[in-house]
Structure 1
Amino acid sequence: MEENLKEKTGKTLAEWKTLLAAQPFEKHGEYMSFLKGEHGITHGFANFITLKFREADAGSVDADDLVENQYKGKEALKPIYTLLDEKIKNLGADVEVAPKKAAVSYRVKRQFALVQPSTKTRIDLGLKLNDTPHEGRLETSGPFGSMCSHRVQLTDASQVDEQVLDWIKMAYEQAK
């Protein structure tokens, strides 16, 4: 996200940090409201800027380390993540990948997918799908709440089949 920050918001991270440093706020939500309301920043970028400013995102851990840390003790799930990551990135050059402490978010204009190793034996693939019923493998969003509308539970790379790839592609198209 930082690479696209100036293009998408008109300022670098350093410039946003300087602006936020001059504000009297103490809470994350106050900074978010300020950036969204006063500067028209999207929710995702406002959150990114605020986290970086407050140094609450994971300190100086880089993206690869964030992903590696997610799969410590869950190494058997890594092939599922690797396959999903490859398939999602191949949807288009406009896909932004944002590893976090517990999951990896994928977005274009908005988030459309989230990959999270939820247990030692299961990855939850969260998807944001409009007007799509919850049925069969395509469940309610579960642990993702409002971040995603649907969830697919995956315990093996073979479960990343054509049906799952179609759902991912549909979510990507709807997010554009």
Structure 2
Amino acid sequence: MAKDWREMMAWCGELLERSTGETVEQWNAKIREADPSSESELRAWLRERDIHGYAQMVLIMERFGYPEFLTATADELFDAQYESRPALRPVAERVIELAQLAGPEVTIQMRKTYVAFVSPRRTFAQLVPSTRTRIDLGLRLDVPPEGRLLPAKNLGNRVCPVKIGLTSLDEVDQEVADLLARSYQENL
């Protein structure tokens, strides 16, 4: 089961409640009463009440609207990534299957433009539809680029220094499975 942004938004709400003792709904009522006319005015109002970071972010989005990708399901995010790349979807699906086998506690996180594979500690790989004919599997490995491994300068959220370009299902082979497992182990 892949996760989407909704879990993070719920976490932001819990963070707000832990830090202030009041829920998102209670803060929304206070914000409606204060009636800030702009995002900057609301930010200033929240800062005066010592609300910063993620807790502030969720209240701003509650007031002025959430970006579509934050309210989309994991399936909707994945569908959008491969809508114009239908031939690459089976390649991506196979990589996701292999990533789930990389270790006992792999979390799949769908994002707007990539899929993150997360160990209990941190992101260990990312899958990015880079072109209409290639997806890149970024790996968080401390190895020099060689063979199929290429430098990954601007991939996903930029945590993976190397990548493998994949254009067909037959390229998602045992080497890819082994590299995913190694990356998982190195990021525990």
In structure 2, the residue matched to 1:96 is: 107
Cα distance, 1:15 vs structure 2:
2.0
Q: Secondary structure at the residue paired with 2:127?
A: strand
Q: Secondary structure at the residue paired with 1:125?
A: strand
- In structure 1, the gaps of 5 or more residues are 6-10, 36-48
Amino acid at match of 2:13: A
Amino acid at match of 1:105: A
Structure 1 residues 52 and 72: alpha-carbon distance in aligned structure 2, compared to 1, 3 A threshold = farther
What's the TM-score, normalizing by structure 1? 0.73
Please identify the structure whose Cα radius of gyration is greater: 2
In structure 1, the residue matched to 2:150 is: 139
2:181 matched to 1:169? yes
Cα distance, 1:14 vs structure 2:
2.4
Quick one: higher RCO (CA 8 Å, sep 6+), 1 or 2? 2
Aligned residues: 151
Structure 1 residues 16 and 63: alpha-carbon distance in aligned structure 2, compared to 1, 3 A threshold = same
Partner Cα distance (2:83, 2:91) in 1: 14
CA RMSD across the alignment? 3.1
- In structure 2, the gaps of 5 or more residues are 21-26, 28-44
In structure 2, the residue matched to 1:76 is: 87
One of 129, 133, 141 as aligned partner of 2:141: 129
Q: Deviations over 1:120-165 (max 9, x none)?
A: 10001010002x1111210111322732111100000111111121
Contact 2:82 2:89 in 1 (8 A): yes
What's the TM-score, normalizing by structure 2? 0.68
